[in-house]
Amino acid sequence: MVKATESVQKAQVAVSSRHMGANSKMKTATESLSRIQDKQKMRNAELQAAEELANNESSSDLEKRLAEAGIKGGKTSADDELARILGK
């Protein structure tokens, strides 16, 4: 009876260790995929930020923002604009 119980316990330990090994490998693979996804998200954010900075630094963007503010692109002179800003 004792030998039978010992054999059953050894078999249970063997099965348990196989499952633990498989679970460990699955966990490692899942963690690796998660790290890869995080790196891809970070790289995408960096690329978007660089593109946004490049767009903001371009002279056409500045011209566009000045025109939207009514400072440039109109038919007013610098004196007219200064008077408008000072409220005269």
Sketch the domain layout of the chain as residue ranges: 2-86
26 token code pair: 């699955």
Within 10 angstroms of residue 66's Cβ, the number of other Cβ atoms is 13
Q: Among 8-12, 34-38, 66-70, 74-78, name the most confident range.
A: 34-38
Model pLDDT for residues 54-81, shown as the tens digit of each residue? 877 766 777 777 777 777 665 666 777 7
State the average pLDDT for the chain: 80
Cα-Cα-Cα-Cα torsion 64, 68, 69, 75, nearest 10 degrees, comes to 90
Query: What pTM was computed for the model?
Result: 0.45
Query: Of 55, 6, 26, 72, nearest to 84 (Cα)?
Result: 72
pLDDT of residue 41 exceeding 80, the answer is yes
pLDDT of residue 37: 92
